[in-house]
Amino acid sequence: MNETTKANLLGLTQPQLESFFESIGEKRFRAGQVMKWIHHFGVDDFDAMSNIGKALREKLKACAEIRGPEVVSQDISGDGTRKWVVRVTSGSCVETVYIPQAGRGTLCVSSQAGCSLDCSFCSTGKQGFNSDLTAAEIIGQVWIANKSFGTVPGKIDRAITNVVMMGMGEPLMNFDNAVAAMQIMMDDLGYGISKRKVTLSTSGVAPMIDELGKIIDVSLALSLHAPNDELRNRLVPINRKYPLAQVLDACRRYISRLGEKRVLTVEYTLLKDVNDQPEHAAQMVELLRDVPCKINLIPFNPFPLSGYERPSNNAIRRFQDLLHKAGHNVTVRTTRGEDIDAACGQLVGQVMDRTRRSERYIAVRRIGDEAAPSSGAADRT
Q: Which residues are known to be catalytic?
A: 95, 344
Select the binding partner of residue 127 from ligand SAH, ligand SF4, none (C-beta < 5 to 8 A, by kind): none
Q: Using alpha carbons, select from 172, 248, 267, 247 the residue that is nearest to residue 215.
A: 172
Q: Does 122 bind ligand SAH (CB under 6 A)?
A: yes
Q: Does 264 bind ligand SF4 (CB under 6 A)?
A: no
Report the distance separating Cα 237 and Cα 323, nearest Å.
Answer: 25
Q: Using alpha carbons, select from 39, 91, 93, 85 the residue that is nearest to residue 66.
A: 39
Largest CA distance in the chain: 71
Binding range to ligand SF4, per CB under 6 A, among 32-40, 79-87, 115-123, 150-158? 115-123
| DSSP state string for 184-224 | HHHSTTTT---GGGEEEEES--HHHHHHHHHH---EEEEE-
**Strand pairing category for 198-202 and 162-165:** parallel
* Contact between residue 180 and residue 143 where contact means Cβ atoms under 8 Å apart: no
206-225: contacts with ligand SF4 (CB under 6 A):
223
The residue whose Cβ lies closest to ligand SF4 is 125
- Sketch the per residue contact string, 207 through 226, with ligand SAH: x for CB under 6 A, - otherwise: ----------------x---
Q: Which helix (H) or strand (E) holds 282?
A: helix 278-287
Which of 35, 85, 166, 293 contacts ligand SAH by CB under 6 A?
166
Of 119 and 186, the one with the shorter C-beta distance to ligand SAH is 119
* Contact between residue 183 and residue 139 where contact means Cβ atoms under 8 Å apart: no
Of 30 and 280, the one with the shorter C-beta distance to ligand SAH is 280
Q: How many chain residues bind ligand SF4 (CB under 6 A)?
A: 11
Select the binding partner of residue 276 from ligand SAH, ligand SF4, none (C-beta < 5 to 8 A, by kind): none
DSSP 43: -
Shortest Å distance, C-beta 358 to ligand SF4: 12
Residues 6+ apart with CB under 8 A from 83: 74, 75, 77, 95, 96, 97, 98, 337, 340, 341, 342
* Contact between residue 46 and residue 52 where contact means Cβ atoms under 8 Å apart: yes
Q: Using alpha carbons, select from 119, 99, 127, 375 the residue that is nearest to residue 269.
A: 119
Of 100 and 307, the one with the shorter C-beta distance to ligand SF4 is 307
156-175: contacts with ligand SF4 (CB under 6 A):
169-170
Select the binding partner of residue 166 from ligand SAH, ligand SF4, none (C-beta < 5 to 8 A, by kind): ligand SAH
Of 140 and 204, the one with the shorter C-beta distance to ligand SAH is 204
> Residues in the site for ligand SF4, rule: CB under 6 A?
115, 117-119, 122, 124-125, 169-170, 203, 223
Q: Please give the residue ranges that form the binding site for ligand SAH (CB under 6 A).
A: 119, 121-123, 166, 170, 201-203, 223, 267, 269, 298, 300-301, 344-345
